[in-house]
Amino acid sequence: MHILTIGIVSISSIIPRDQFDFGTNALAQAGYRVKVAPNVVGPEVASAAERARLLEAFWLDPEIDLLLFSRGGEGAADVVPLLDWNALRARPDLPVMGFSDVTILLGAMLSHGVGHPISGPMLSYSRRLTPEAREWVRAALDEAPLPPVRLRVLRGAENGGSVSGLPMGGHVTRLHWLWKNGLLPSANGRVVFLECTAKYPPPQVRQCIEELRDGGAFDGAAAVVLCDFRHAGAERAALDAFFPEFAASLRSPVFAGFPYGHIPGILALDFRRQLDVSPDGILAFREDESAKP
């Protein structure tokens, strides 16, 4: 990806001014030109229709090489049904990066076969990103080699071999919304990454994951990777007790421990970049290709 100009957009909540200023200054210092949609800072959240039209306008702007979301929060579920997907097909390979609430858009992009979804840190994370996460994002956008990551094996492949596939996934409550609304992309042959914030208690997280499983959302998946869940104490213990049970209920291999979610060390996932996981849990993104869906 040759990125000169980054378009900052929002389909969810408003970003605080200090986070916006820090993030845009950091991008400018890194050598990028920045164009900002007028609804990003506020003072109030724009209507869903206005957010949809602004996203479309920035998507179709020929000067913009990457769409970067300002932050997550709430609101993507109101915007995605209003998008003109036929119009967006004019730029079918545009890179779009965000996560959390933006999971809804990235999943819909896969379902519609439009755009180049990348699940990764948004503008609001600029100040808090670790140096390793910052390096990873830059390498991912440059399609450069990425270091391997060791995972924990919760359920290995039935044949004892490696698994391969393209990534997908995101925030479990947003994946659940996609599933309920018929927009969840097929997991067939893909590696599904799951994360969630502590805002959602373990019973709700468990219900979302079980309903996704029982509804066939993980059918045919090359693997499932449990990432960061921001729960602590008794809530963390409840999820830790649930995850092995969940892993045993799937036919796909299940791994844990990839640093992805609402953490300073979040590693970006390019949904078009093939990855492999060895039997002992070494995850490696392929260096020689950026696979197309």
State how far the Cα of 248 lies from the Cα of 238, in Å rounded to an integer.
16
Same domain, 96 and 219: no
Q: Are residues 167 and 210 in the same domain?
A: yes
Number of domains in the chain: 2
What does R_g of the chain's alpha carbons equal in angstroms?
18
Percent residues over pLDDT 90 in the chain: 92
Per the prediction, the chain carries an average pLDDT of 95
Prediction pTM value:
0.95
Do both 180 and 105 map to the same domain? no
Q: How far apart are CA 222 and CA 162, in angstroms?
A: 10
pLDDT for 252-285, tens place per residue?
A: 999 999 999 999 999 999 999 999 999 999 999 9
When pLDDT is cut at 50, 70 and 90, the band that residue 288 belongs to is low
Is residue 135 in a domain?
Answer: no
Range of the domain at 96: 5-128
Judge whether residue 241 has pLDDT over 80: yes
- 91: exposed, middle or buried (C-beta count within 10 Å: 0-12, 13-18, 19+)? middle
Say yes or no to pLDDT of 292 above 70. Answer: no
